[in-house]
Amino acid sequence: MPPFFIPGKDGDPMSWMKRQRMLGYVFIAPNVIGMTVFLLVPALFSFYLMFTDWVFSSGRGPHFIGLDNFRRMVKEELFWISLKNTLLVMLPVPVAVIIGFLIAVMLNNRVYLTKTLRAFFFAPYFTSGIAIAFVWMVLFQPSEGPINAFLRSAGITDPPRWFSSPDTAMIGMLIMLTVGGIGYNMIIYLAALQDISTELMEAARIDGAKTRHLISKVILPLVSPTTFFLLITGFVGAVKGFGMIYAITQGGPANSTSVFSIFAYKQAFHFYEMGYASAISWTMFLLILLISLLQWWGQKRWVHY
């Protein structure tokens, strides 16, 4: 007899089915509990904290102050600097998306050694992190670093001081972030391009479409969901960015590379302003939400599914 009819003290197959359905909760329980403890509860806690004046080191508990943290924030110059820098950090995203797209088109069927080249282009993204940030720091070293040595040899007698100067630190960051992002976009586009049927491409080519038209009239519309995905995740990732920038400059010199996440981090863990830091981080969340909403709205106009 199959076990279908045995289980359960009552021997009723329906109650066995029911128990099997209840197992659903058991399967998801570890993750749901874990997420509640490490994500949902902290999020709610921080949501409450943003309306308080809690300073962790003061020994006083949190005290409700309404929206005072936000009033304080908009009056602070560093908030506006951080907002500007956070928006600047989004610039590399479309640049890396475009370059990634062009490389993917080339790699799709216009070169030999596709797999090797794909790995070469993807590796800088895959390995990027704190270690690579320090490599860039040395590459951009103002007096003797290779980048400035190259610029001098190209006849620029007074090359930028990059991360050592408030005027150029951000430019260095943008270059680093662009190079780091290309590989990911390329990989995703390449997968999308391989989904486009070759017959369609051949048909267009036989109809005499030039490469330029093939790209703009056939390929671009077909990969528009991918473009949309890459821009959204890219912008959201850029707004959250912290590690590589903080590792190189800690937001300096003279706060010139302070982004939201660094602003919030310093308020929390240098000054222990837990309430204020929570308000800043939720503002960051708002910015992320805004980007997502704007793009959801925008996609209706240019994404072809």
Considering only residues 91 to 120 of the shown chain, the ones binding other proteins according to CB under 8 A are: 103, 106-107, 110-113, 117-120
Distance of CA 225 to the CA centre of its chain: 18
The minimum distance between CB 45 and other proteins, in angstroms, equals: 4
Query: How many residues of this chain bind other proteins (CB under 8 A)?
Result: 100
- In angstroms, rounded to a whole number, what is the distance separating the alpha carbons of residues 291 and 305? 21
Residue 228, amino acid:
F
- In angstroms, rounded to a whole number, what is the distance separating the alpha carbons of residues 148 and 150? 5
The count of other CB atoms within 10 Å of the CB of residue 302 is 11
Nearer to other proteins, 81 or 291 (CB): 291
296 binds other proteins (CB under 8 A): no
- In angstroms, rounded to a whole number, what is the distance separating the alpha carbons of residues 268 and 158? 39
The minimum distance between CB 206 and other proteins, in angstroms, equals: 15
Interface with other proteins (CB under 8 A), residue from 83, 219, 268, 291: 268
Phi, psi torsion values for 27, nearest 5 degrees: -60, -40
The region of 80-88, 157-165, 211-219, 259-267 touching other proteins under the rule CB under 8 A is 259-267
The minimum distance between CB 295 and other proteins, in angstroms, equals: 13
Here's the x/- map for other proteins, 212-241, by CB under 8 A: it reads as --------------x--xx--x-----xx-
Distance of CA 202 to the CA centre of its chain: 36
Distance of CA 89 to the CA centre of its chain: 10
The minimum distance between CB 27 and other proteins, in angstroms, equals: 3
The region of 76-84, 165-173, 184-192, 297-305 touching other proteins under the rule CB under 8 A is 184-192
The minimum distance between CB 100 and other proteins, in angstroms, equals: 11
Segment 9 to 68, residues that bind other proteins, using CB under 8 A:
20-28, 30-32, 34-35, 38-43, 45-46, 49, 56
DSSP 126-145: HH-SHHHHHHHHHHT-TTT-
Distance spanning both ends of the chain, measured CA to CA? 51
Taking alpha carbons only, the member of 243, 304, 102 closest to residue 185 is 102
The minimum distance between CB 109 and other proteins, in angstroms, equals: 9
Segment 65 to 94, residues that bind other proteins, using CB under 8 A:
none
Segment 118 to 177, residues that bind other proteins, using CB under 8 A:
118-124, 126-127, 129-132, 134-139, 141, 144-146, 149-150, 153
Helix, strand, or coil here: 159?
A: coil
